[in-house]
Chain A
Amino acid sequence: MRGLLYCGFTLNKKWFLFSGIVAAVGAAVGAVLLNVPDGEENAQLIDTTILLFELIAMLLCPEWTGRNLDANLKNRFANYILASPVSRNSFVLTELIQNFICTATGFVMCLAMRGIICIFENSFWDTNHLKLLGGMALFVIVFNFALTPLTIKLKSSEKAGALVGVIAGSALYAR
């Protein structure tokens, strides 16, 4: 498992960097917008803009683990690993751990971004919004927990994503 985790994070490291860059840019944009004269419209614009940056920062990291898994299934690296002393359960668990760590990293990037913006405006450290962020992170983790074994089974992240999306969409529609 150690080798697989090293492999995953070695291949993924640039996406952590991108996520960090997005968070830094989001913080800078937020700081700039906060210096624009106040107005209700402006507050909504700042909120929406920062939320957008948060979404991107949070989703960049785990997005690439899914693509890596898809590539590994297609280029037979997954077969190679399963023929090695790594068990199937360890392989799946490694993918889930990577997804969890990546999503958690994205969440921390968002917190850092919001923390920087709070230097300029205290009210941005809003517990409701932080709960929303935590909920988003949890949703991404649960979604990937469902997606990863399906991707391995179907050998395609697109098919697995489509299937999970249809099921989740149908469940929401039914509610």
Chain B
Amino acid sequence: MENCIEVKGVCKNYPQFSLKDVSFTVPCGSVVGFIGENGAGKSTSIKAILGLIKPDGGEITVLGENSLKLTAEAKEKIGVVFDGLTFPENLTVKQLDKVMSGIYKTWSSEKFFGFMSKFELPLNKKFKTFSRGMVMRLSIAAALSHATELLVLDEPTSGLDPVMRAEILDIFLDFMQDETHSILISTHITSDLEHIADYICFIHKGEIIFTEERNEMLEKHRILKCTEEQLAKIDKSDIIGLRKGRFQNEVLTTKAEKYPDIPADAPTIEEIMVFYVKEG
């Protein structure tokens, strides 16, 4: 199996929002960062991948199976992390272990309590007393405590401090030590992806803008720092995004080689995203 997730031409219409012809893949053994601003369609796409909503068009394949007809065996291999507390707030860790062992055949209490010990999470306190960081660590531990081969993460680091985010990203890197494992991580915190993503898929207003290999994407794009005069000479079709400043303008382009006289900087993923959203 080359791709553990294949999304082809997916459409989904809501009164205020639509997914339009969304297509991308998650190759097996890779980390795909799914980025976009708030309301771009990331969570909707994730729900479609997990079979929680039925697309109006297109098809989705997860681990070789149709996402709407995923077998229990396939679901055993998928670990899911949603943003915020996903579990009933009046449960404790010990109770959650019993709940999950009754849901997942491959659930490992040993692994789960191992994570609890590593993350220093209390076993008998209700989840409503947990901080946000504790909640995310709990969710990640639960996602990794069965026979997970594919992690689907929806904003797993949102609202966390940088130290916590680095710790969680290390856990994901550990997970990826096994080459059969894959991750789809949806986030608007693009700096997290600088270190772990192999591919970046950018969604904006329900449409996929690009899906590219991370290094290639970063190499291809450049920010031209130009004056008004220089800006006038840049071909409009070469301008992906423009930011006008008091003293200089910034232009995102993939055609920097056409303008050797204009200073160019390498952008971050975040800058690329902002320029695409702002447009020319």
Contacts and interface: CB of A to CB of B under 8 A. Distances in A.
Contacts of A2: 102-103
A10 interface: yes
Interface stretch (A19-27, A69-77, A124-132): A69-77
B99 A82 contact: no
Contact of A83 (B78, B87, B88, B101): B78
Dominant SS at the B interface?
loop
Nearest to A2: B102
Given A10-B91, A83-B80, A76 B101 contact: no
A72 B88 CA distance: 7
A85 B71 CA distance: 7
Interface range on chain B (Cβ under 8 Å from partner): 20 to 34
Interface string B67-89: 00000110110101010111111
Interface in A70-94: 71-72, 75-77, 79-87
Interface residues of A, number: 24
Contacts of B51: 82-83
A81 B95 CA distance: 16
A37 interface: no
A71 B88 contact: yes
A33 B100 CA distance: 49
A39 interface: no
B192 to A, nearest CB: 21
Given A81-B103, A85-B103, A75 B86 contact: yes
Given A3-B99, A3-B102, A83-B78, A75 B72 contact: no
A123 to B, nearest CB: 43
The 3 tightest CB contacts between A and B, nearest first, are: A3-B102, A2-B102, A85-B72
16 contacts: A1-B102, A2-B102, A3-B100, A4-B99, A5-B102, A7-B95, A10-B95, A10-B99, A72-B88, A75-B86, A79-B47, A79-B82, A83-B52, A85-B73, A85-B104, A85-B105
Interface of A: 1-7, 10-11, 68, 71-72, 75-77, 79-87
Given A11-B88, A11-B91, 14 more contacts: A3-B102, A6-B98, A7-B99, A11-B90, A79-B47, A79-B50, A79-B52, A80-B87, A83-B75, A84-B80, A85-B73, A85-B75, A85-B104, A85-B105
